[in-house]
Every structure is written in structure tokens, then in C-alpha cells.
Amino acid sequence: MDVLVAGAHGQVGQHITELLSQSDHSVRGMVRDDGQVADIEALGAEAVVADLTQDVGHAVQGCDAIIFAAGSGGEDVWGVDRDGAINLIEAAEDQGLQRFVMLSSMNADSPEDSPEALREYLTAKAEADERLRESDVTYTIVRPGPLTNGSGTGRIEAGDELGRDGEIPRADVAQTLVTALPVERTHGRTFEILAGDTPIQVALEEL
């Protein structure tokens, strides 16, 4: 598949871009800053400059799938985490893309369970996720707990509601998003992930 990575220069996004460039997929890394193009190319990807808050049609053109790993970092949750994501979902619909894999967050549907400072962000993520579910693109919504920079283990726990706290390395989140692309069991599904004991491919096939 030709895969567009939104947020390709982010911490998770760089893992995703590198994994895809080493796979059978083609990868196009989307950045909003010209100065990041060389870094994306160094990861083995084609780069495209586009901002989620503006027209993104040229970034999506010719792609089969999108992995969304962009985020506002709390700066503009409504403009980026909600409306920027929806902008890209609508571009995917307009151009008839097959697949959209969304990096969401645990507690998106229950912001009241998180500290006040995170609630607007989580609500914005939930509204973007809802728009994706209503779209005609085959979606997968992945909701990790807090991210760490620890080494990837290749193992996770995945489920509709894990019912526990925990963390997960960014490298394993990236591997999960990439692995999910062709796994039919993940189509039309929203699920949580944390660090765990099950190999990622197996965890997704057993969802």
C-alpha cells in the first residue's frame, strides 16, 4: 500500500515512517515545516509538506491508506486534534482511500476519568474518532495509555477495554499501527493497548 503518515516527524511518527520504509509498503511522510523534509527522507520516505489545518488534498492524492500520528501537544486541541484530523478524514473520503488507522488515546470516551488538563484534548480526540467511525473509510482506532520512550518489546495487551492503568513504549505503538494495516480483525474496531506479553500480530488477530 502507499501509506501517508500524518505527524511523520513526531516521536511516534518517526518510528512509523522508518518501519514502513523497511516494509513492502511505500511511505509518504507529511510534515508542515520544510525544514523537516530532509529528516523524513533520511528515514527512507518521500516527504510531503502539508498542514492539517489547511488544504491536505495534495498530500492524500495517490495514497491507499493513512496512519494518523499527529497531535497538537495540547496547543490547539480543537484546531489540530479534532478539526485537523477531520480535515484529513474528509480528504481520505473525497479521494476514496481504503484505510485509515488513527492513533487515539485511552480515556477518549471518558475524559472525566483523567486530570482536568487533559479533558479538552480527550474530548477533541473522541470527536475526531466519532467522525472517522461515521466515514466510509475502513478504519482502525488504536487507544494507547501514556507513552514512554522505552525500547520496543514487540509485545502488547490489546482489548476493547483493558480496565487497568499502564504505559506503552512509542516504538510498540508505532509497530501496532503499522501491523494493523492489513489485519482484517482490526477493521472497524476501536481498542486499547498497553505494554503486555502478547506478540503484536497475535494480539491484533485475537481482538
Ligand X SMILES: NC(=O)c1ccc[n+]([C@@H]2O[C@H](COP(=O)([O-])OP(=O)(O)OC[C@H]3O[C@@H](n4cnc5c(N)ncnc54)[C@H](OP(=O)(O)O)[C@@H]3O)[C@@H](O)[C@H]2O)c1
111 contacts ligand X (rule: CB under 6 A):
no
Shortest Å distance, C-beta 12 to ligand X: 4
Chosen residue from 47, 80, 91, 122 binding ligand X by CB under 6 A: 80
Q: Pick between residue 24 and residue 149 the one whose CB is nearest to ligand X.
A: 149
Partners of 99 in beta bridges:
65, 138
9 contacts ligand X (rule: CB under 6 A):
yes
Chosen residue from 13, 111, 152, 196 binding ligand X by CB under 6 A: 13
Q: Which of residues 131-170 bind ligand X (CB under 6 A)?
A: 144, 146-147
Q: For strand 26-31 and strand 99-103, is the pairing parallel, antiparallel, or unpaired? A: unpaired
73 contacts ligand X (rule: CB under 6 A):
yes
Helices (H) and strands (E) in the chain, counts: 7, 11
Active site annotation includes 139:
no
Partners of 142 in beta bridges:
103, 191
**Using the 8-state DSSP alphabet, how is residue 38 labeled?**
H
Task: Report whether 120 contacts 127 (CB < 8 A).
Answer: no
Shortest Å distance, C-beta 204 to ligand X: 18
- From CA 116, how far away is CA 2, in angstroms rounded? 39
175 contacts ligand X (rule: CB under 6 A):
no
Cell output for 97: 482511500
Q: Which of residues 40-69 bind ligand X (CB under 6 A)?
A: 51-53, 69
- Looking at 68, 100, 121, 139, which residue is catalytic? 121
Shortest Å distance, C-beta 84 to ligand X: 5
- From CA 54, how far away is CA 96, in angstroms rounded? 19
Amino acid at 14: Q
* 202 C-beta neighbours (distance < 10 Å), count: 11
Chosen residue from 103, 128, 177, 203 binding ligand X by CB under 6 A: 103
Amino acid at 15: H
- From CA 167, how far away is CA 127, in angstroms rounded? 23
Nearest position to ligand X, beta carbon: 71
Shortest Å distance, C-beta 96 to ligand X: 22
Residues with catalytic roles: 121
Q: Residue numbers of the site for ligand X (CB under 6 A)? A: 7, 9-13, 32-33, 51-53, 69-73, 80, 84, 103, 105, 144, 146-147
